[in-house]
Amino acid sequence: MSAAEALGRGQTEGTALAGKVAIVTGAASGLGRASALALARAGARVVVADLDAQGGREVADMVDGDFRACDVSDLDANRALVQFTQERYGGVDIALLNAGVATGCGVGEDFDPARYRRAMGANLDGVVFGTHAVLPALRARGGGSIVATASLAGLAAVPLDPLYAANKHAVVGLARSLGPALAPENVRFNAVCPGFAESRIIDHLRGLLSDQGLPVIPAEAVADTVLRILAGDGSGECWFVQAGREPEPFRFRNVPGPARPVDPTATGTLIPS
């Protein structure tokens, strides 16, 4: 099912998100750029946020939107981004928290605290801070949707980059937990989890991917999945995007419970198995 089919339900792609206001972080290139363009084609007004001013302004011009420089690892910068969007467009309906960077180090001899903090700041803090900043705006609209860009690295082990896997697993855990917590407020929180997709993050891996014959997922395929998430009614879902497969929510196995049931009459203690 295409994004137009998923979003449309009798509408054209150009009206499916008419009247909606979207913030997209990390929108100057890659997945953020493709998603900003897709949102605009679907009728949304888009605020493009990135540290890359030149690329960000180019995308903003393409979507007839606005550009704001934003370091997502700075809480106040996230708040300022939301405030600008509210003042410019009257509110916020959608936040795609997409900004991210490659780690560039491991936990052994190559560990670099500055690179570690940069990666955690962009990939995890950017989602947490962005969520914190945008929630009041979504609540003021009576609800809305947050989509965080995680990764297939948030669903599987990544021995070559354990720190990247760690922050992306954290985003997946946040989505699974916040999704049902926010749903009663009509705020949906989901994650999109691409494999090796066209973006700057895979620049250092392109040779390896080519040598192993692994395809690079077009950024547009990820953007299409973002639109499908927005068109649905799920919350707490983590949609994988993998070459040769139809995107869909990942089905997590149930965590084993206690071997024996909890005694409902007990006061704060569990019955040992």
Q: Which residues are catalytic?
A: 164
Q: What does DSSP say about strands 248-249 and 238-241: parallel, antiparallel, or unpaired?
A: antiparallel
**H-helix or E-strand spanning residue 66:** strand 66-69
Question: How many other C-beta atoms are found inside a 10 Å radius of the C-beta of residue 217?
Answer: 23
181: phi then psi, degrees, rounded to nearest 5: -70, -35
Of 217, 241, 216, nearest to 229 by C-alpha is 241
Rounded CA gap, 84 and 75, in Å?
A: 14
**H-helix or E-strand spanning residue 194:** strand 187-194
Of 43, 156, 163, 50, nearest to 96 by C-alpha is 50
How would DSSP label each residue in 76-117?
HHHHHHHHHHHHHHS---EEEE---------SSTT--HHHHH
